[in-house]
Structure 1
Amino acid sequence: MSGKYEPKGPVGHIVNGIEETAIAVLLGLMTMLTFINVILRYVFNSSLIWSLEVVLVLFSWLVLFGVSYAFKVTAHLGVDAVTNLLSPKGRKIAGLFAGAVCIFYAVLLCKGAWDQWAPFADLPPTTGTWFPTGLDTEARGRSFFETDQIPMLEWMRPLEDWINYGERYSKMPRMIPYLILPIASVLILFRICQATWRIWKDEATSLIVSHEAEDAVDDVAAMNRGD
């Protein structure tokens, strides 16, 4: 078993399609904005001053969202030269150990992501060094922090009453682009748990290892055979 993810059932295919569409939309928006700005700059001697920051935000969302998706489809690269020397039971134990370590790290990542984003949404971060031990209600909010150039969208104006005490935003608040931090960290934790569960159920032999080179060789061999 290669451990490669295959969506199961209609719901699995729908969710998989939504995730792939989201990644494609993010990449498409980045490409479109960059192309438009190049045309404006070199043809019309103008530019969208906010486009660079938007592209950076979209790229951040794409990377962080893609990390969790790559866990799902076992597309991350890894080294399995040692584990391949083990027996099937040994590989399973090694995979489960790796999964436990990754789950522990993902839990820490979730705490750090929340503590980073929460003040920008006028929410309390957690207390505790490693794991949440409570909420720090005395922490200073940062909901008034804005992005540098991204315009404030009119349909987001209710945020001014919800998190900024009625003060008007001239630019988009940072809590919007930073929102990917808790979302991505929770998705990463969820996907690692899924991958570890697949190993436990003997549906996969590896947590994240991708054999892109081997797959490419197999594809070329199949093409040469006319398959």
Structure 2
Amino acid sequence: MNAPTERSRGLYRLTENLMAACMGVMALAVFINVVLRYGFGDGIPASEELSRLLFVWMVFIGAAAAYPAGEHMAFTSLVGMLQHKPAAMAVMTVLIRVLVITACVMLGWGAWQQVVVGMGSRSVVLGYPVALLPLPALLCATAIGVMALIELVRHKPLDLGHAGDTE
């Protein structure tokens, strides 16, 4: 695996900070809501909607950040058996990258359709455009698809650093 560049480290820190901010705001909103509900008999309805929106964004930011770091779940035991057969490994690498790109296209297409549908409606409590809920899925699919396409074009080998693990 190549050493991370300063730019990729900066992007990784940015995604970590965004996820931490989402988690912090969610935790604070839920905590305040719980205290108000149990202590005073009334809560803030917006905290549930805000937490749901931030959770969706946090998950997809994390998914996009995990791809270049090789942190997604992988079934490397099957592909690991091909390590000593370079031709078969090359074919499997291309197949896996094509499957990742195909999955990203399908996820992106579905998310795009939901974004378009959500443009015309607003959330019940906070009033934000409902398109903000599927938007991170579209952005994540685009980011991972582009990264997989770049890896495919550059003929980057699969990272089997954890091939001995059973996953």
Tell me whether the two structures share a fold, i.e. TM-score over 0.5: yes
For this pair of structures, how many residues does the alignment match? 163
The residue type equivalent to 1:98 in the other structure is I
Does structure 1 conserve the Cα–Cα contact (< 8 Å) formed by 2:77 and 2:163? no
What's the C-alpha RMSD, in Å, of the aligned pairs?
Answer: 2.6
1:33-182 aligned within 5 A: 33-86=29-82, 87=84, 89=86, 90-121=88-119, 143=120, 145-150=121-126, 171-182=127-138
Structure 1: segments with no counterpart, 5+ residues: 122-142, 151-170, 215-227
Q: C-alpha displacement at 1:213, in angstroms?
A: 9.3
- Write the mapping of 1:210-221 to structure 2, written as runs, cut at 5 A: 211=162
Give me the whole-angstrom Cα distance separating, in 1, the residues matched to 2:163 and 2:54: 26
By percentage of residues, which structure has more helix? 2
Q: Is the 8 A contact 1:7 1:13 kept in 2?
A: yes
Answer 1 or 2: which has greater strand percent.
1
Work out whether residues 115 and 132 of structure 2, in 8 Å CA contact, stay in contact via their aligned partners in 1: no
Residue identity opposite 1:174 in structure 2: V
Report the CA distance shift for 1:175/1:82 in structure 2 as closer, same or farther (over 3 A): closer
Question: Normalising by the residue count of structure 1, what TM-score does the alignment of the two structures yield?
Answer: 0.62
- 1:43 and 1:71, CA in 2 relative to 1: closer, same or farther beyond 3 A? same
Matched residue, 1:136: none
Structure 1 residue 212, shift from structure 2 partner: 10
- The amino acid of 1:34's aligned partner reads V
Partner of 1:205: 159
Q: Which runs of 4+ in 1 moved over 6 A?
A: none
Give the gaps of 5 or more residues in structure 2.
none
1:195 Cα deviation from its structure 2 partner: 4.8
Counterpart position of 1:7: 4
Percent identity, please: 22
Q: Report deviation, 1:60.
A: 1.3
User: In 1, are the aligned partners of 2:33 and 2:47 still within 8 Å (CA)?
Assistant: yes
Q: 1:173 to 1:114 in 2, by over 3 A?
A: same
